[in-house]
Structure 1
């Protein structure tokens, strides 16, 4: 599929997909005779991984590292898998930590929003 359909199916903009391509995170599987980027389902899966990492604050280098681990795991066997799994486990722990931090931030933001509502209601009632 071309980049427009890839963007639509992943919820990313064409510009963002091109940025991730320039950063080396995802490379279109092929090009059409006219030079258009062509993406496959595995390409879309990579874009979805990247999209999920972004709100957790992972850097492009961290995203690249995780994608390399995932790629390597597909062909690794025996003892080669153990260090990859250890690195993958580190990413899992980092993701869990970042999710916890986001939950704490959300809780604080919700508390603030509730405080503003009660302040507004009190001010409106005293008019």
Structure 2
């Protein structure tokens, strides 16, 4: 992505292509308030910025860890809150809890992957 891409707004199709998510998913995220477009064109088309893309990639990275849409929304609210109030102790505490929980979820996925590898090794040995 060059500097002009960072300032040029994207329509929903381009954002979907760049992030590997469907247009339908992006529309749903807009409907539930998880990811609102930064602007709308004169014709009413959703317009997204590089910051919106970064937010969407954060959302996409939560999916494999099993976060619900509600949990994603809470995390984004905490992140947004810390961006505007970095010294808020309650938000910082909640953010740290979320990070610990994400690490636990990741570790659980690692254990599942290890079990899958063991299973494949057993099949290969037969």
Normalization by structure 1: what TM-score?
Answer: 0.88
User: Among residues 66, 71, 93, which one is paired with 2:75 in the alignment?
Assistant: 66
Q: CA RMSD in A?
A: 1.0
Tell me how far 1:17 sits from its aligned partner. Answer: 1.2
CA distance in 1, matches of 2:14, 2:97: 33
**Counterparts of residues 77-116 of structure 1 (less than 5 Å):** 78=87, 81-116=88-123
In the other structure, the counterpart of 2:6 is none
Establish whether residue 33 from structure 1 lines up as the match of residue 38 from structure 2.
no
For structure 1, the 5+ residue unaligned runs are 120-127
Q: Larger helix proportion, structure 1 or 2?
A: 1
Larger radius of gyration: 1
Moved beyond 6 Å, runs of 4+: none
Tell me how far 1:91 sits from its aligned partner. Answer: 0.7
CA distance in 2, matches of 1:118, 1:17: 44
Aligned residues: 117
Normalization by structure 2: what TM-score?
Answer: 0.88
- 1:37-88 Cα offsets, whole Å, 9 max, x none, are 100111111101100000000111110001011111111154xx11111010
In the other structure, the counterpart of 2:60 is 51
CA distance in 2, matches of 1:69, 1:116: 45
For structure 2, the 5+ residue unaligned runs are 1-9
